[in-house]
A = this chain, B = another copy of it.
Amino acid sequence: MKVETVDFFYLSMPEITTNADGSQDALIVRVCAGGLTGWGECEASPLVSIAAYVTPMSHGVCRPVSASVLGQTLDSPADIARMAAMVSYNSMDLLQAPHTWSGIEIALWDLLGKARGQPIFRLLGYERAHAKIPYASQLFGRTAQETLEHARAARRAGFRAVKFGWGPFGAQAVEADVEHLDAAREGLGAEGILLVDAGQVWIDDVEAAAARLPALERNRVTWLEEPFHAGALGAYATLGARTNAVKMAGGEAAHNRYMAEHLIEFGRVGFIQIDCGRIGGIGPAKQVADYAAARGVAYVNHTFTSHLALSASLQPYAGVSEHRICEYPFQPRQLAVDLTSSHIRPDGNGEIVVPETPGLGVEINEAALGHYKVDVEIKVGGRTLFPLPPRA
């Protein structure tokens, strides 16, 4: 097969709030090759990722992502890796390129899986997919009472694990943070798995983070996610050395496998969280999963949008039975729900498993592509670069 077309769909809720909720818009990618269609999703900033696909070349290693994809052969996983290497080299100086490529890469795997009649995890070498314990991923409440109620709601919905993040946490007084942590544990119950996401709020201030450690330890928080800037490896390692049971988690910002590997090697995180919509897709995520497993670090998916992205995020470690926890968007905006006509739901045991159906195993609801569509027009030097010309 040859990659014939790559199309982008910028979708958005009518209103975007300043909540750290990534399900408010989406950039969906459709790839056509050999009479088949594959779908993927980029994370985030649809306009900028589209621009990185269509931009004029600046020079030999600052080419648009399209230059390394269109017309390329797609017959095997090695072809996807070859295109990934081309993007990495040809778009070396185009910072946004990995985010754009990520959605395309996922769509290529979806298409290849459909061509072979196999789910992606099998193309990655896994015999079978193991069930994961989904954690209800949500924002801290504005008050501790709200956090308590959110935790209770997740528990009622059958979740054995809950993650709270962002909101006021970390930027308010230590005492207020402690109230939220106590409320989260109370709402979840003694048995539940409690996870906390600080959203980089302390940048690289180890002492500010350490002030919350006693309450994190007392509430038996499994991981403290992104206490610091994604690049502040030293701060991660220093804080991690000062905890007992609480482990450091991070990695969602990694836009290549090296960044994730360094967070493991030098940041000494206990959980490495990979967003397939950013790191360059499923291929490099699988490399990180292998790297983590060899070092006794748990791999966790990062995803906060649609079930298309959820399925992609699960593939790289679907076959690893020991890495049990997975992120699961608990209250996504309607756009993310409507985007797919099939969904990955927890079973009676409160666990989820990636579909056995070919590719990502999740069906796109094409009506949603129209309903939430945002029109984009990009012209450079009088030439229309987007919308892309229809297929010849």
Residues of A with Cβ closer than 8 Å to B?
A: 10, 12, 16-22, 24-25, 43-48, 50-52, 54-63, 85, 88-89, 92-96, 98-99, 166, 199-200, 203, 229, 231-233, 253, 255-256, 258-259, 262, 266, 278, 374-382, 385
Contact = CB atoms under 8 A, between A and B. Distances in A.
Contacts of A95: 45, 48, 95-96, 98-99, 255, 278
A52 B55 CA distance: 13
A44 B58 contact: yes
Given A203-B85, A377-B379, A17 B60 contact: yes
B52 A48 contact: yes
A302 to B, nearest CB: 11
Contacts of A258: 229, 231-233
- Assembly of this chain: how many copies? 2
A46, A62, A88 — most chain B CB neighbours (10 Å)? A62
A88 B21 CA distance: 17
Contacts of A61: 20, 199
A48 to B, nearest CB: 5
A216 to B, nearest CB: 22
Given A50-B51, A61-B199, A88-B203, 6 more contacts: A24-B58, A45-B96, A47-B55, A48-B52, A374-B381, A376-B379
Contact of A93 (B22, B50, B374, B382): B22
Contact of A46 (B44, B58, B256): B58
Contact of A62 (B44, B60, B256, B380): B44
A43 B233 contact: no
Contact of A96 (B12, B52, B380, B382): B52
Counting from the closest, the 4 A-B pairs by CB-CB distance are A231-B258, A51-B51, A18-B60, A96-B96
5 contacts: A21-B60, A60-B166, A231-B259, A375-B379, A376-B378
A58, A94, A166, A229 — most chain B CB neighbours (10 Å)? A58
Contacts of A377: 377-380
Contacts of A376: 378-380
Nearest to A200: B92
Contacts of A55: 45-48
A310 B208 CA distance: 39
B93 A380 contact: no
A377 B203 CA distance: 36
A12 B48 contact: no
Contacts of A62: 22, 44-45
A383 to B, nearest CB: 10
Contacts of A381: 12, 374-375
A44 B51 CA distance: 13
A199 B44 CA distance: 28
Given A98-B95, A380-B376, A58 B85 contact: no
Contact of A57 (B16, B52, B92, B233): B16
A47 B383 CA distance: 13
A256 B255 CA distance: 14
Contacts of A229: 88, 256, 258
Nearest to A50: B51
A50 B200 CA distance: 26
Contacts of A96: 45, 48, 52, 95-96
